[in-house]
Structure 1
Amino acid sequence: MHIKDTAHQALAELGYPEQKVKTAQARQISATLYRALPDHHIDSVFELCEQLLESREWMLSLIAFDWAFRVKKQYTPNTFEVFERWLLEYVTDWYDCDDFCTHAFGELIVQYPQLIDKTHAWAKHDNFAVRRAVAVILIYPLNKGKYPQNAPLNAADLLFNDEHDLVQKGYGWLLKVLSKTSPYEVIDYLKAHHKEMPRVAFRYALEKLDNQIKIELMSL
């Protein structure tokens, strides 16, 4: 049976596609299907991931990105080429961008932080979800405390004038996560750019700051 048919069969037991399947349920199915795979070598798994992604169904993409994360111990710098191709070809909205970048693709950056420079070109891509990835790919490294020091603010600079609200929210989210460990770095950035910064990004960025600082920044 083709892997897409196998996945569909497992999802159908939960009523898919007529009934909405929760992300947590899909991840449980993903784990079960992954354990049943005869070969867990990264090349074999990525080939199956590609078949799932080609369906362009969110539930199957979720499984594909989950499997890609499960082989993280086999990543090499060359994995970037595969992941970038998937991003450019299959990621079309904020939810698949976030799922991919806050797990598998973010883990790759944790392992090989020098690869972050290759993401900068995405800031000029026509697809807003690809542009959003410039920021979102750093969320996982930030949460792990393993990221290139200047990368978050560089990402914010690259996306600063983007007109899409979901890109603005993406780098605002990045700054918000950064503020949990480096609040003064974010405060200084917001103070320096408050006049030009889109308010959506600005408000996202200051959400986790001290209340008094938030009031001060919002009054600028």
Structure 2
Amino acid sequence: MHIKDTALGALAELGYPQQKIKTAQARQLSATLYRQLADHQIKSVLHLCEQLLEERDWMLSLIAYDWAFRVKKQYTLSTFDIFERWLLHYVTDWYDCDDFCTHAFGELIVQYPQLIDKTHHWATHSNFAVRRAVAVILIYPLNKGKSPLNAPLNAANYQHDLVQKGYGWLLKVLSKSSPDVVINYLKTHHKHMPRVAFRYALEKLDKQTKAQLMSL
């Protein structure tokens, strides 16, 4: 049986697509299906992931990105080429951007931080979800304490509300470990930053600092 049919059959038992499936349910199902795979080598698993992604169904994509994360111990530098192709061809909205970039793709950056430089050109891509990925891909490394401080501040293209929010989210995460970096950045760039990104960025700062920054 094709992996798509197996996954869709399992999802159907949960009532999908007629009923909305919670992300936690889908992840639990994904774990079960992954254990049933005969081959857990990265080449085989990523091939199956791409079969799921080709269906362009959100639940199947969630399973694909989860499986890609499960083979993280087998990542190499060349995994970037596969993940970037997925980003450019299969990611179409904020939810799949975030799921992919804050797990599998973010973990790849943790392991190979030099790959950050290869993400900068996404900032001019026509797909807003790819532009959002410039910032969002750094959130997982930041939470792991593995991202260079200068890297998050390179996210640039704000020409979409969800790109702005992704950039603000990144700065908010950075503010937890490096508040002074974010405060100084906001003071320097407040005149040019979209207000939605600015407000997101200062959410985790103390009340007094937030009030001072909002008055700028």
**Smaller-chain TM-score bracket:** over 0.9
Deviations 1:169-220 (A, max 9, x none): 0000000000000001000000111111110000000000000000110011
What is the CA–CA distance in structure 2 between the aligned matches of 1:43 and 1:14, rounded to whole Å? 29
Task: Give the match for residue 208 of structure 1.
Answer: 204
TM-score (norm 1): 0.97
What CA distance in whole angstroms lies between the structure 1 residues aligned with 2:148 and 2:82? Answer: 22
Please identify runs of 4+ aligned residues in structure 1 that moved more than 4 A. Answer: none
| Deviation of the 1:148 alpha carbon | 2.2
Cα RMSD of the aligned pairs, angstroms, is 0.6
Give 2:160's match in structure 1, choosing from 161, 164, 169: 164
Q: Is residue 145 of structure 1 aligned with residue 145 of structure 2?
A: yes
Correspondence 1:183 to 2:216: no
Superposed displacement of residue 149, structure 1: 2.9
The aligned length equals: 216
- State yes or no: 1:218 paired with 2:177: no
TM-score (norm 2): 0.99
- State the match for 2:93 in structure 1: 93
Q: List gaps (5 residues or longer) in structure 1.
A: none
CA distance in 2, matches of 1:188, 1:149: 13
Structure-2 separation of matches of 1:120 and 1:25:
34
SS at match of 1:207: coil
- Read off the aligned partner of 2:106 and give its amino acid letter: G
Q: Deviations over 1:23-69 (max 9, x none)?
A: 00000000000000000000000010000000000000000000000
1:18 counterpart SS class: coil
Counterpart for residue 12 of structure 1: 12
Q: Secondary structure at the match of 1:180?
A: helix
Which residue is 2:56 aligned to?
56
- Which residue in 1 is equivalent to 2:136? 136
Instruction: Give runs of aligned pairs for residues 18-167 of structure 1, distance below 5 A.
Output: 18-155=18-155, 158-159=156-157, 162-167=158-163
Q: Which runs of 5+ in 2 are unaligned?
A: none
Q: CA deviation at 1:77?
A: 0.3
Q: Which residue of 1 aligns with 2:169?
A: 173
